[in-house]
Every structure is written in C-alpha cells, then in structure tokens.
A and B are shown apart, each in its own frame.
Chain A
Amino acid sequence: MSVETLIAMLASTTAAATPLIFAALGELVTERAGVLNLGVEGTMLVGAIAGFAVGLTTGSLTLGYLAAALAGVLMALIFAVLTLQLQTNQVATGLALTLFGVGLSAFLGKSFAGQPIAGLPHLSIPLLSDIPVLGPLLFRFDILVYASIALYVAVQWFLSRTRGGLLLRAVGESPAVAHAIGHPVQRVRYAAVLFGGACSGIAGAYLSTALTPMWVEGLSAGRGWIALALVVFATWKPLRVLAGAYLFGGVTVLQLYAQGFGLHVPSEFLSMLPYAATVVVLVLICRDRQTILLNQPASLGKPFHPEL
C-alpha cells in the first residue's frame, strides 16, 4: 500500500470522525449534567441545513457554521424549555425533537438539494505541512478537525480541572443535593443542554459542507444515534469518545476500500460494519460495571423539580 493511499485513508478517517466528536462531546456535557437529549440526530440535521443554506447564500462558511451552531442552540432551547421548565419526559421529548428536526430540515432543504457548495478548505500549515510524509499526514486538514481536538482538550480540562466542571458533575449526580447546598441546578442544566445543541449543530454543518459538500435529505444517516451510543459506551469519558469516533471513522474508510477491492460480500454488510464495530468494541470496553456506575451521571434522564 502506497504512502498516498495511507494518507488518503487517514484523511477520510479523520473526516468521518470529526462530526461524531463534536456531537458526542456536546452530548457528553449535556448528559454529565444529568440531561438525556435524544434529539442529537434531529439537531444535527437542522444544523446541517442551516450551515449549508447560510454558507451557500452568503458565500461565507464562517457565517454558515455560526448559523449552524445557533440553529443547534435553538433546537436545544426547545428541548430545555420542555424538559427542564415544563418537566416533560426527556426520552419522549428527545425522540420528538429528532422527528421534528428530520422533518424541518427536509422542508427547509427542498430548494437546496443538489446544489454544489465549495467545501471547507483544507489548511496547509506553513512549514509543518511541508515535512515529508508527516506533513500531509498531520497538517493538511480542515480547521474543524483541529477544532474538534481542541474541543476535546477543552471539555476534558473543564470537567476535571475547573469549578464549573465540578459543579456540572455534581448537578448530574444529584440535583437535589446541589440545590440543597444552594447551586443553580436549572441554570447549569440549561447551559449544558445549549452547549450540546451548539456542538450538534456544528457537527451537522460539517456533514453538509465538508464531509459531503452538498445537501441531501437525511444526510446524517444515523450519525446522531452513533454519537449518543458513543457517549454511553465511552462511559462518559471524553478520551474514550475521541477514540470511539476515530474507530468509527477508521472502519468506515476501511469498508469503503474493501468495497473498492471487490470483496464478495454484499455492500450492505460492509456499510453496516462501522456501526457494528463501534458498538461491539465499546461494549467490550465498558463491560466493567464498576466504571459505568462511577461515571454514569446518577440523575441521567430524571426530571428535577426545584422546590419552591
């Protein structure tokens, strides 16, 4: 296998992993606050069309990504008002949000289907990208790839090193206790849900402007669900989310090449592989019940009524 193939494979792996990292890290923060938002898939789709539409009409992908993040926040706001304020069931509301997002994005995207857009440009970092082999391998991605790594570092640092992160984890473990000692449980949860929404929105925009630079109805193809599964199987640990996302990306690319080599396996099975492999590997990782119980936010999915 040539160096070029290897570079190409790594580049596609990274591209497939990046949206998952955004969506899953956002959801991880949301869940760490004890809120289960199953609307990731729908939020990603709305972010995808918002990013695509704004990016295409204004010609600025920066504005497109801002719009995607904003769309994600708005979707999350609907979820937050319903579940946190009006105390609706989080699972049902999240599912409804996904259905809503699928429909809304299809509706908004009608006139954009099939239009071409200039995809997110690949950076080429001066000097570094000229290093033979390593340069093209590591320093010629688009900016969101680097941003996803930065987001991982930021989330990890926030959760383990800052008071805000401590408070977030505390709220996720026991909102009642956090409330009793005087912390603003609702505000923390709102912030976490909105952050998750913004991340999902950006993840969606990456799909429509970088991964496959065009709008197709339902282009997220279940990646929102994979992101949700990643969070759980990564036992709410950011590093495992990162690893899981790259695993998914890697198998996605491998099966594409396998299809290219003309293996005598129905292509549907190969397309299924990344999903199955990710789930299987992560299930194996998280077999230890202890880790789950220590890291799973104890109040996950449970409504909290602050006493009046």
Chain B
Amino acid sequence: MSPPRLALHGITKRYPGVVANDGVGLVVQPGEIHALLGENGAGKSTLMKIVYGVTRPDEGRIEWEGREIRIDSPAQARALGIGMVFQHFSLFETLSVAENIALALDAHEKPAALAPRIRDVSQRYGLPVDPDRLVHSMSVGERQRVEIVRCLLQQPKLLIMDEPTSVLTPQAVQQLFVTLRRLADEGVSILYISHKLDEIRELCDVATVLRGGRPGGQAVPRDESNDSLAQMMIGRELAACSLQPRAPAEIELELTQLTLDSGEPFGVALQGIDLRVRGGEIVGIAGVSGNGQKELLAALSGETRCTARGMVRLAGDPVGHLDPAQRRRRGFGFVPEERLGRGAVPAMSLAQNALLTGAPKGLVRRGFVRMGAARTFARQIIERFAVKCRDELAPANSLSGGNLQKFIVGREILLAPKVLIVAQPTWGVDVGAAQLIRQALIDLRDQGAALLVISEELDELFEISDRIAVLAGGRLSPLREPQATSVAEIGRWMAGGFVGEALDAFIEIEEAADAAA
C-alpha cells in the first residue's frame, strides 16, 4: 500500500493564552475525501493554516507521501501540490479572473496567456468561468468556481476546502460535489471542513473530529447519524428545537411595495416587496447573500430611509421615514449580519455594548449612564444565554463568533421587542450555540413577538420558520409553509426560479389560449 498523502502527528500550536491544537493527528489517503469536524474554536482553521504553510506548529511532525517535511510558506505548500479554497474567498474584487489566477500561480505567466488554460480546466470539470470578467460582478457561487479553478490549474494532490458550501444554493452544492468526486476519482485527496453534517455524511469517506483543540476521534460519516456526529463534536447530546403551531395574531410588521435603489455600486435594488409578519410567527427569508439581503436589512433597520413612509409599518403605523433609534423605541429589535462593527463595537466591553441598544431599559438616567445597571443587564444576558466570556467587562472582540452572537441575540431578546429582525443568526456558529440561539428565537415567538429571520442556512429556516420565502435578485418569492415546500423548490427559487416559474405559467396560459383560438 502506498504511504498516506498527508500525515500529521502530535501537532501542537500555542497562542498567547490559548492552545489551538494540542497533540492533533490526521491521516489523509490518496483519493480520499476527508472531513474535518469540530465546533468553532476547536482548532480546525489553525490546523489547516499549518498544512498550508501559513502558520508553523510548535510541536509535531508533518509527513507528505511518506517523507517528513516542513511547510514554511504557502508557496512551498503549493509546490508540494497542496491547494486551498478559503472560507472567505481570497479573490481581489477589482481584478479580472485571469489576473486573480495569475497572482496565485508561482510560475510567472501573463493573465492573457492563462485564459485558454482556464477555459480548458473549467470545461473539463464542469466549472464554467470567464477569464476576462471582473470578480466584483460575479455571484458567490461563481467566485468559488474561480477559486477552485485556480487550485486545479496547479494540479494539486491535496485540496483543502474550508466551509465551501456555506454560501451556495443546494443545486450549486450538488454541482460542487460532482466535481469533488471526480477529482477524488482522479486520485486527488480532499480535506473538507464544514459545519453541515448532512453534507459530510453524503460526501466524505472519513471524518476526523477535533474537540477544543484536542483529537476527538475518527468516524466513517456514512455510518453515523447527525446526532452521533454532533455528539462527537461537542461531547454531549444535542437537544432538538421544537416549533409548536400557534394561532396567528395581529399583523405586527408589514411591508408594502417596498422598492429601493441600492446606494452601492454592486448592490441590488429591492423591487416591490410585500410581506406581512404576524405576532407569534417566524418568517424565514432564504437566499444567497447579494440578492438584496443587505438592502432589505438596511430598509428594515432604518439605515436606509424609505421613499414612502407606508412602505414599512409597525403594528399599522407607518415607520418607513424613521431612523434606527426611533424604530427601536417603537419596538423594533435588530440582530445584524456583521457582529463586530454593526452588532457590537469591537473594542468596547460587553457591558458597554449592552448599553448601546439597552439604554431605554433604564440604563441611562437624566443623560447619565448607570454603569452598574448596564453591568447587571450584561450579566443577565451572559447567564441566560450561556455566553462563554471572562466577565461582563471583557471586550466584545475577545469573544468567539458564536459566543458574541449569543450575547447580541440575547441582548435584543431581553429588550422584549415587538418585531425582531435577525440576519444570519447562526452564521459560523457551532452546532451547540446554534441550537441555543434558535431555541431562544422560538421562545420569543411563543411570547407573541413577530420575527423575520434572514438566513442562508436552509435547514435552519425549515426548522424554525412558520413560513418561508426567498429573496432573489431583489424580489421576494411567494411565502410557503415549510411542510408545503421542499429544499429543492426553495433552492430553485434561490437561483431566481420563481420569476421564471411565473413566466412559464404565463406562457403556458398564452399557449393554451392560442391553441383554443
């Protein structure tokens, strides 16, 4: 038997105050699709950075095809045949596809000379890519294709994919899997990092689990269930969320013909969005980012003022002309997509961050801040939502993404909003924390609040939504109850399919009319 493509033994990496990897091992065979599983902060990213030569381990051995080696730089990793597709795409937006690829190749080639090779590889693996297009005009799925093509041009023996599907439609995910399987058949090893257990069970041959930086065991994902895999990751059992049917109450949030131009050069204009959300109801908005999500959120929060006051109504009152603070005073709550910078001020303490939106909760009196009250409020959030942090005086940017999200969601929920708008509630949040956040949202619904959840995670929306719609190209699809639709239909809609379907139906009617005449 040939030696493994990559073998890591006893890898340890310490950062000041934290051990990211503690004696971790990993063995990847040629042609194997190998999953790396773990919660946030379990050390997956650190381990991949070590393999790709971005970081060096403090201890441990790396073997490549049987030989012990050191990987000192990404260039050296690429020379060995290691390619990486990053979680946050590593593309330069203002450059063309060919220029982007030329920059990442170590052989100095002119972008123009690369174009035929790019076309060749993209055809062979079914990854359509136009070398001359500028990246900023491309969708996320297209960008990922560019990243993959870029890796494939270097004929890698090991392809590392960090959360590759988090931004793809279900159909695009299936396309990606076809490509990955073909690569594996050709002998390329694939290291696949993902939170999505369904996908891992479908795609991967072997899974290595990391738990808190330590080895958490190995498994064959096909033989496991989502629950058993999750249990390996978090070391305990995972409770499921439950959504009990409720009788719909009064309409709390109402959007009427919400039409807005995007101020951004690559933004998407909102086109005639109609939506009603009742008290005690969660409406989920699915869709791939960049289809008007940012613009819709800005219109809801008041960061962009609407052109007509009646476009957004809260419990019947027009609020389209109000600014974010005024809307909050009327009972709106928001959990924005960017945690650091929008949801929380990075350098400020949790108590100060609690104050920022919690001020009306008696944290400010006669213009003076009551720091004691703010700290109590922050402690309350930390306790209720099991936020892992030093204390309420820890700065927001010292928390992991999942914990900060718990804090922000908790803060908004404790303010008891009438309408809560949540964007990407569990983006990059591990399974345990995600479950807690979803349950908290459901609890708020059960108390009678109206919730609008915008997310790219379809499974999540199906789990917590009373009704689901898709936002694609700035238009909102019809609303469906989760039981009355399927992941496949929503996925088709995410690619803008509902517009086409309406058109098809129209053409059919026309044809029928023609036939009758």
Contact = CB atoms under 8 A, between A and B. Distances in A.
Interface of A: 163, 166-167, 169-170, 173-174, 177-178, 180-183, 289-290, 293-295, 298, 307-308
Contacts of A169: 92, 94-95
A85 B53 CA distance: 22
A166 B90 contact: no
Contact of B103 (A167, A298, A307): A167
A59 B54 CA distance: 53
Interface of B: 53-55, 73-75, 78, 86, 90-95, 99, 102-104, 108, 110-111, 136, 265
Residue with the highest number of chain A CB atoms closer than 10 Å, among B75, B94, B95 = B94
A182 B78 contact: yes
A170 B92 contact: yes
Q: What 4 pairs across the A-B complex have the smallest Cβ distances?
A: A182-B74, A177-B90, A182-B75, A290-B265
A177 B54 contact: no
Contacts of A307: 54-55
Nearest to B91: A177
Nearest to B56: A308
Given A163-B108, A170-B92, A180 B86 contact: yes
A307 to B, nearest CB: 7
Given A163-B108, A180-B86, A181-B103, A173 B74 contact: no
A295 B94 CA distance: 8
Given A173-B92, A173-B95, 14 more contacts: A169-B94, A174-B90, A177-B91, A177-B92, A180-B54, A181-B90, A181-B103, A182-B53, A289-B265, A294-B94, A294-B265, A298-B94, A307-B54, A307-B55
Nearest to A173: B92
A298 B135 CA distance: 14
Nearest to A289: B265
A26 B90 CA distance: 28
18 contacts: A163-B108, A166-B111, A167-B103, A169-B94, A169-B95, A170-B103, A173-B94, A177-B90, A177-B91, A177-B92, A178-B103, A180-B54, A180-B74, A182-B53, A182-B75, A182-B78, A294-B136, A295-B94
A300 to B, nearest CB: 13
Nearest to A177: B90
A181 B108 contact: no
A101 to B, nearest CB: 33
Contacts of B93: 173, 298
B500 to A, nearest CB: 29
B90 A293 contact: no
A181 B77 CA distance: 10
A179 to B, nearest CB: 8
Contact of A180 (B90, B95, B102, B111): B90
B74 A181 contact: yes
Residue with the highest number of chain A CB atoms closer than 10 Å, among B74, B75, B92, B104 = B92
A293 B265 contact: yes
A289 B264 CA distance: 9
Residue with the highest number of chain A CB atoms closer than 10 Å, among B54, B91, B103 = B103
Contacts of A289: 265
A173 B136 CA distance: 12
B147 to A, nearest CB: 10
B328 to A, nearest CB: 29
Contact of B92 (A163, A174, A293): A174
B265 A166 contact: no
Contacts of A170: 92, 95, 103
Nearest to B55: A307
A22 to B, nearest CB: 26
Contacts of B102: 163, 166
A166 B95 contact: yes
Contacts of B104: 181
Contacts of A173: 92-95
Contacts of B54: 180, 307
A178 B95 CA distance: 13
B436 to A, nearest CB: 31
B13 to A, nearest CB: 11
A170 B103 CA distance: 8
A87 to B, nearest CB: 16
A1 B91 CA distance: 56
Residue with the highest number of chain A CB atoms closer than 10 Å, among B53, B108, B136, B265 = B265
A177 B146 CA distance: 15
Contact of B73 (A182, A290, A294): A182
Contacts of A298: 93-94
Nearest to A183: B103
A290 B266 CA distance: 9
A163 B53 CA distance: 23
A180 B100 CA distance: 13
A178 B9 CA distance: 30
B280 to A, nearest CB: 43
Nearest to A167: B103
A34 to B, nearest CB: 12
A163 B86 CA distance: 23
A163 B93 CA distance: 17
B74 to A, nearest CB: 3
Contacts of A166: 95, 99, 102-103, 111
A114 B136 CA distance: 56
A293 B266 CA distance: 10
A27 B90 CA distance: 27
B86 to A, nearest CB: 7
A226 B90 CA distance: 35
B326 to A, nearest CB: 28
Contacts of B73: 182
A308 B57 CA distance: 11
Nearest to B99: A166
A183 B103 CA distance: 9
A182 B54 CA distance: 8
A169 B86 CA distance: 21
A294 B94 CA distance: 6
A174 B94 CA distance: 10
Contacts of B110: 163
A188 to B, nearest CB: 12
Nearest to A176: B90
Contacts of A174: 90, 92
Nearest to B76: A182
Nearest to A180: B90
Contacts of B91: 177
B188 to A, nearest CB: 19
A182 B82 CA distance: 13
Contacts of B92: 169-170, 173-174, 177-178
Contacts of A290: 265
A245 B111 CA distance: 32
A276 B78 CA distance: 53
Contacts of B75: 182
Contacts of A178: 92, 103
